[in-house]
Amino acid sequence: MPVCVFEWRYGSPEMRRLFELESWMRRLLEVEVAVVEAMEELGLAPRGVASTVRRAAGEISVGEWRERERQRGHDIAALAELLGEKAGGEAARYVHLGLTSYDVVDTAWALVLRDALTLLLGKVKHVIDKLSRLALEYRDVPVPGRTHGQHASPVTLGFKLANYVYELARRYQAICETAGRVIRAKIGGSVGTLAFWTLLWGAEKALALRDRVAEKLGLKPHTITTQVAPREGFAELACQLATLAGVLERFALEVRELSRPEIGEWLEAPLGRVGSSAMPHKANPVVSERICGLARVARGLTTPALENIALWHERDLTNSSSERVWIPHMMLTLDQMLEDMLELLDKRLRFNLEAARRNLQLTKGHALSEAVVALLVSKGMARHEAHRLVMEISRSAVEKGVSLLDALASDERVSRLVSREELERVLRPEAFIGVAPLLVDEAVREAKRVVEKGCGL
């Protein structure tokens, strides 16, 4: 019976399959077989043993592996024993020869992480593409800008969206860079020195065997390790993924905030689903809220990854148990968040441009006070004096419920420098969006360059 929520609720079937026990065992065996194949290719093992070992690997079941682990108390030792027994004869001599458990485990993690990140980054690319299309569609549409939760100078809807395009492209690039440091073969023996192979075949062949194993698995080898691959790389990857989760959360929070009835500029459409078990009218932003909730899980999962950096000497076992938890759960968490983002962008997200126009008028022009400061500066007034003057007039007018245009036009300190017509021209939202449309174009172009370059996983 399923226990973990990721078994039945969160994460795509493709991502779940990567972390099933059967899949994990096959990855471990893939590494074991690759080592024997590399030995044979380099003339360090007799011809034919690799095919025997590969056949034997295909005969091992999860059930017998778990039973052997129960008897032996060590998962990799149990698997190596089974593989050697099923291979038999001459081939058995070369199974797990010169390896330590984490040569197999860490290299298997590299293979799983490569597949998992390929899935995640593919979805990030789709999110970037969809947001880019929306950003270009709405590049010129003014909407209220908000800082500290208050109306600020206007932006465009496309500009808001393009900021997420930019941030997600940066996350894509950063994860790719981190992946290059983490997704590597760890082949070094009991303490990382390749001493066993060196004693058997000499230093040159030991290093050649390390490199050939990595090559066969489509990986680069770590340059130097202890008994395990450096855990600072795993921690870096965890933090990069949590940062990606934070960007997704920021977008989801925007949806939630702007869908408040008193704002109403964005809407997460319920698509016929129940919003509240008690209140029939509710259309809750449940997908956006799930993204925000899972972002908290992602941040929490960075803690064990960071704690695992400081292992004792050439390693202890404290990282093993926590990685069985945080790695699959981090991947499944991000997978669900990206699935939710795609659902939002494909099916649920709506923009109410009429509400945005209405909200631009809520402050009676006071949100455009910065434009007036710029106008007065253009007439020769010092910036600090213009700021002080407009702030004084605006605050007094807000208390009286007077529009900024009327308040400015009736103040002789302003009217002797600028006409009402000039004030009217700058006190229009579309007149004070700066180069927002051009920045949208630039952000979309840059994101396209990043994703087209790809990741090379």
- Asked if 447 and 132 count as a contact pair (C-beta separation under 8 A), the reply is yes
- CB-count exposure of residue 422 (10 Å: 0-12, 13-18, 19+): middle
Lookup: tokens for 258: 């702007």
Cα distances from 83 to residues 62, 98, 169, 186, 411, in angstroms, run 12, 15, 44, 20, 90
Distance CA 186, CA 285 (A): 45
Give the helix ranges, DSSP H, for 202-281: 203-216, 231-258
- Asked if 194 and 206 count as a contact pair (C-beta separation under 8 A), the reply is yes
- Asked if 39 and 54 count as a contact pair (C-beta separation under 8 A), the reply is no
Distance CA 320, CA 235 (A): 14
Annotated active-site residue 148? The verdict is yes
**Which residues neighbour 447 within 8 Å (Cβ) at sequence distance 6 or greater?**
128, 132, 165, 166, 168, 169
SS3 assignment, position 422? helix
Query: Which DSSP letter does residue 348 get?
Result: I
Lookup: tokens for 6: 């990721």
- Compute the CA torsion angle 210, 211, 212, 213 (nearest 10 deg): 50
Lookup: tokens for 389: 């003057």
Rounded to 5 degrees, φ, ψ at 397 are -70, -35
- Which parts of 186-342 are beta strand (E)? 220-221, 266-268
Instruction: Count Cα atoms within 13 angstroms, Cβ side, for 65.
Output: 21
Q: C-alpha angle with apex 277: 271 to 280, nearest 5 degrees? A: 60
Distance CA 49, CA 47 (A): 6
- Asked if 247 and 167 count as a contact pair (C-beta separation under 8 A), the reply is yes
Catalytic residue among 101, 126, 259, 276: 276
- Could you tell me whether strands 266-268 and 142-147 are parallel, antiparallel, or unpaired per DSSP bridges? unpaired
Bridge partners of residue 268, in order along the sequence: 349
Cα distances from 389 to residues 150, 183, 365, 377, in angstroms, run 21, 59, 16, 12
SS3 assignment, position 160? helix
Rounded to 5 degrees, φ, ψ at 143 are -140, 160
Give the active site residues. 148, 276
